[in-house]
Amino acid sequence: MLVKKKAIVTGGAGFIGSHMVDLLLENDFFVTVIDNLSGGRESNLSQHKDNKNIEFIETDICNIKYNDKNFTDTDFVFHFAGKGDIVPSIENPDEYMNTNVNGTLKVLQASKEAKIKKFVYAASSSCYGLADTPTKENNVIDTKYPYALSKYIGELVVLHWGKVYNLPINSIRIFNAYGTRVKTTGVYGAVFGVFFKQKLSKKPFTIVGDGNQKRDFVYVTDVARAFYLAAVTKKNNQIYNLGAGNPQSINKLVELIGGDKIHLPKRPGEPEITYANINKISKELGWSPLVNFEDGVKKMMAEISNWKEAPLWDKDSIEEATKIWFKYMQD
């Protein structure tokens, strides 16, 4: 009997992780999802509830044991689990260091013991801070807040395990991922969730600064495909930048969604532009973005009702939520 390829996706009920699960199932993998279901993310995998090629383990990555039997005979581990968002990381840095560093270590140890074939780490472009653009993988590291620091230290641990223990690893520094299933609940953060709820509520979009700042938005299915290619490649111990290589302004996003806008004070420590140099991932993995920005936003707008339960942010609530940002952050 033909044995299916096996993959583990930590954070597999999350935004990017759930799309990774979709892609793996399409490629005939048996998928184990490890997720603590923080933020009510169960619905992201509801389409697979009757699929016998997926199993779900509800646990925190910090609870994974080095000899975890769930890792036995696993081909690939895709590590997306972690704590995101900037403001909460400033408020509770210990939680971010514990999950994004110690949790990553737990997953690495289990992967090493199980002798997996490839470990792919979801790193963050936030490690570059206010970077030169287009940003190459060898750009100076300048972490501006605890979230960025915790993800970068997690990446260093991954690279170290690759070097010392010969664990086959690759790390992908994601720029600005967007797409369906992007976070709809919780703290002030992702621009799409904020804007879509404001659109549904017929409220003006809250734009930080003049709106001319640009972000290298890359659609989530393109992100998942990049991680898949990083797993199946023979190349190991590599760092890849992942963006669309075509930054878009916040004003352009507002134009595509449609509605009124108001402006908030510019925040220190935020770049005017994020822009990934994607030459390396394109050359070595044969990856290029397939979903352009306009089509990506259309895909999300078609499911805008999914954001009806998202928190509604306005000028006053955002000002209150970001007080700590202005207290500690600086350019």
The candidate with the shortest Cα–Cα distance to 180, out of 17, 40, 15, is: 15
Amino acid at 9: V
Other Cβ atoms closer than 10 A to 56: 17
Buried b (16+ CB within 10 A) or exposed e, 275-313: bbbbebbeeebebebebebeebbebbeeeeebbeebeeb
Q: From CA 234, how far away is CA 175, in angstroms rounded?
A: 24
Active-site option among 147, 178, 219, 275:
147
Count CB-CB contacts under 10 A for residue 17. Answer: 27
- Judge whether 147 counts as a catalytic residue: yes
For 271: left if phi > 0, alpha if psi spans -120 to 50, otherwise beta; the answer is beta
DSSP character for 265? P
Bridge partners of 173, per DSSP, are: 123, 241
Whole-angstrom Cα Rg for the chain: 19
Phi, psi of 280 (to 5 degrees): -65, -50
Residues identified as active-site: 147
